[in-house]
């Protein structure tokens, strides 16, 4: 039964995304207004989360929202699933997500990524990608948008410990903003190493912000330890 429910959701995801093709056309004819595109993105994300809840029985619970800074900040989260790339459009409205350019190959989604706009980087271009990430993150913060990055660089199975790529240290140093760590256990229910999506409740834990001013290694060590400890504490919540 869980496998059937997961397959029904996959069908719903394809149909729901396809329904946004006319929306894309209307927004394009209206000059691609960023506010309208972000609103449409949130509606799309809400439909996906509703499908997960109704068809799979997969929901989420948040803890620690009082830790979210009042000002735009840098958000870091461990990356276990496709779930969080969708859910953060709802959890943190108007967030600018640092994403890999490979996502531009996905129909419909690629247009919304470009026009929202999100921060799209080519990981193969090395220092050029990091420079672009810093510049576009500074621009997003200047517009009042928080910036989200998955410091591990790609989805990781729940069994692997959290380990950051080097780019996030430079982003922390250059932006000079508080950093909000967010720990997730989404991979227990919808992960790259799981054959289908599972019923349960994903834990989304907002942790105490890390203030600017630490050295790169100090920041990385503290952030990894915070996320790892919270991630492990959420394991018993799996169904």
105 contact partners, CB below 8 Å, separation of at least 6: none
- Considering 13-17, 24-28, 106-110, the range whose residues carry the highest mean pLDDT is 13-17
CATH homologous superfamily, domain 58-237: Glycerol-3-phosphate (1)-acyltransferase (3.40.1130.10)
Confidence of residue 121 (pLDDT cuts 50, 70, 90): confident
Please answer whether residues 98 and 149 qualify as being in contact, where contact means their C-beta atoms are separated by less than 8 angstroms: yes
> Which residue, among 87, 77, 56, 12, has the nearest Cα to 200 in the 3D structure?
56
Q: What is the spatial distance between Cα 120 and Cα 50, in angstroms, rounded to a whole number?
A: 27
Q: Taking all residues of the chain, what is their mean pLDDT, rounded to a whole number? A: 89
* Domain residue limits, the chain: 58-237
pTM of the predicted model as reported, rounded to 2 decimal places? 0.90
Q: How far is CA 60 from CA 8, 89, 99, 100, 220, in A?
A: 19, 14, 23, 25, 27
Q: Which of 54-58, 101-105, 197-201 has the lowest mean pLDDT?
A: 101-105
Instruction: Report whether pLDDT(106) > 90.
Output: no
Q: What is the spatial distance between Cα 76 and Cα 33, in angstroms, rounded to a whole number?
A: 27
pLDDT in tens, 129-187: 888 899 999 999 999 999 999 999 888 888 889 999 878 999 999 999 999 999 999 99
**pLDDT given for residue 234 in this prediction:** 67
Instruction: Report whether pLDDT(237) > 50.
Output: no
């Amino acid at each position: 039964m869980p496998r059937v429910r997961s397959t029904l959701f996959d069908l719903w995801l394809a149909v729901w995304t396809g329904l946004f093709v006319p929306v894309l056309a209307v927004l394009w004819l209206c000059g691609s207004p960023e506010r309208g595109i972000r609103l449409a993105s949130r509606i799309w994300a809400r439909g996906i989360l509703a499908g997960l809840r109704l068809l799979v029985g997969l929901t989420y619970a948040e803890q620690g929202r009082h830790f979210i800074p009042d000002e735009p900040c840098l958000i870091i989260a461990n990356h276990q699933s496709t779930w969080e790339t969708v859910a953060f459009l709802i959890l943190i409205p108007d967030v600018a997500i640092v994403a890999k350019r490979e996502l531009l190959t996905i129909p419909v989604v690629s247009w919304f990524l470009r026009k929202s706009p999100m921060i799209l980087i080519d990981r193969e271009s090395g220092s050029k990608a990091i420079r672009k990430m810093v510049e576009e993150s500074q621009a997003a913060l200047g517009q009042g948008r928080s910036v989200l990055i998955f410091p591990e660089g790609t989805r990781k199975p729940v069994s692997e410990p959290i380990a950051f790529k080097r780019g996030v240290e430079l982003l922390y140093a250059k932006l000079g903003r508080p950093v909000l760590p967010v720990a997730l256990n989404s991979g227990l229910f919808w992960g790259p190493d799981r054959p289908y999506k599972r019923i349960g409740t994903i834990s989304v834990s907002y942790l105490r912000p890390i203030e600017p001013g630490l050295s790169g290694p100090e920041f990385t060590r503290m952030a990894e330890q915070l996320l790892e400890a919270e991630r492990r504490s959420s394991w018993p919540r799996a169904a």
